[in-house]
Structures are given as structure tokens and as C-alpha cells.
């Protein structure tokens, strides 16, 4: 098994986008990239901890590639809006790829360059690519939030 961590706005919808992929073993929402140990959702929402809302993806690379996860990441959000996704704004909603290995870093950088050159977006891609740091699991009610809701509930 391998691990990948992505920030692409509100973690509820991002988790659902990855959770349903064949080869993804487990998804966990949480916080990464900040300075406060074990932050709460309330703290992260202030923007003062520096954390992003993230989804940690555990996957089987024999079934799904890291590149395929990157494709889903780019498709799930607008990587050209700094600290904003839809109606959500603040540093906790930034676009960021947290890598665990040099191979992941290289693939993320190549993927970002390809998306930027593709002409798919009118503005430049602002997604940061950062070495993964401590992952702090979000409160239980955030885990698989969309899956737990009534049928038809969505989150962008």
C-alpha cells in the first residue's frame, strides 16, 4: 500500500471523489501543512493554524496508479484559484499536493506542468507541491461525510 495526500477545497467532496475509486483502500480527512499540533476543525477554519483541509488516500499501486490519483485531483477542483474553491475561501481551502517520495514529487510536478500547458484553464495553476508533514485526523463526523448523508447530497 502507498499513501497520497491532497488539498482541493472542502475535504468532504474531495474525499468522496477518491473514496469511490477502484484501488483506493481507505480515505481519511484531516489537516496538514500548518503549525498547530492536533488542530480542531474550529481552529483550522480561522485560518490561523496554516493547515489545509486534506484527504489522505491509501491505495494499492497494483490497481490504481499515483498518476490516476493526480488525474482525479485535477478534475475535482479549480487549481487556478488561490485559497478558494467555489464559495469556500481561506488558506484552509488551498490547492496543494503533499508528496511522500521523490517519485511522487516528480510525477506531481510533471502533472501540474501538463495541466498548466493544456489550455484547460484560463489562468495559471497555483497548486503548491509540498513535502508531506504531520497529518492530523479530522473529527469523526467529518469522515465520509457525504457517504453518510441522504441520497442526492453533494458537495462541490
Indicate which residues carry an active-site annotation.
Answer: 10
Residue 85 φ then ψ, to 5° = -140, 115
- And the C-alpha cell for 48? 490561523
Report the relative pairing of strands 136-137 and 88-89 from DSSP bridges: unpaired
Give CA angle at 146 (68, 129), nearest 5°. Answer: 40
Give the span between the Cα atoms of 49 and 40, in whole angstroms. Answer: 10
Amino acid at each position: 500500500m502507498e499513501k497520497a495526500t491532497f488539498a482541493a477545497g472542502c475535504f468532504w467532496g474531495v474525499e468522496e471523489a477518491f473514496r469511490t475509486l477502484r484501488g483506493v483502500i481507505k480515505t481519511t480527512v484531516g489537516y496538514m501543512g500548518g503549525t498547530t499540533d492536533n488542530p480542531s476543525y474550529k481552529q483550522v477554519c480561522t485560518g490561523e493554524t496554516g493547515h489545509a483541509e486534506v484527504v489522505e488516500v491509501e491505495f494499492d499501486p497494483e490497481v490504481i496508479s499515483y498518476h490516476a490519483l493526480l488525474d482525479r485531483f485535477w478534475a475535482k477542483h479549480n487549481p487556478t484559484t488561490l485559497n478558494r474553491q467555489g464559495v469556500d475561501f481561506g488558506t484552509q481551502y488551498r490547492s496543494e499536493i503533499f508528496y511522500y517520495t521523490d517519485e511522487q514529487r516528480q510525477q506531481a510536478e510533471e502533472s501540474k506542468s501538463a495541466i498548466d500547458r493544456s489550455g484547460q484553464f484560463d489562468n495559471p495553476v497555483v497548486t503548491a507541491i509540498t513535502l508531506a508533514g504531520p497529518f492530523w485526523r479530522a473529527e469523526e463526523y467529518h469522515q465520509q461525510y457525504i457517504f453518510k448523508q441522504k441520497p442526492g447530497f453533494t458537495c462541490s
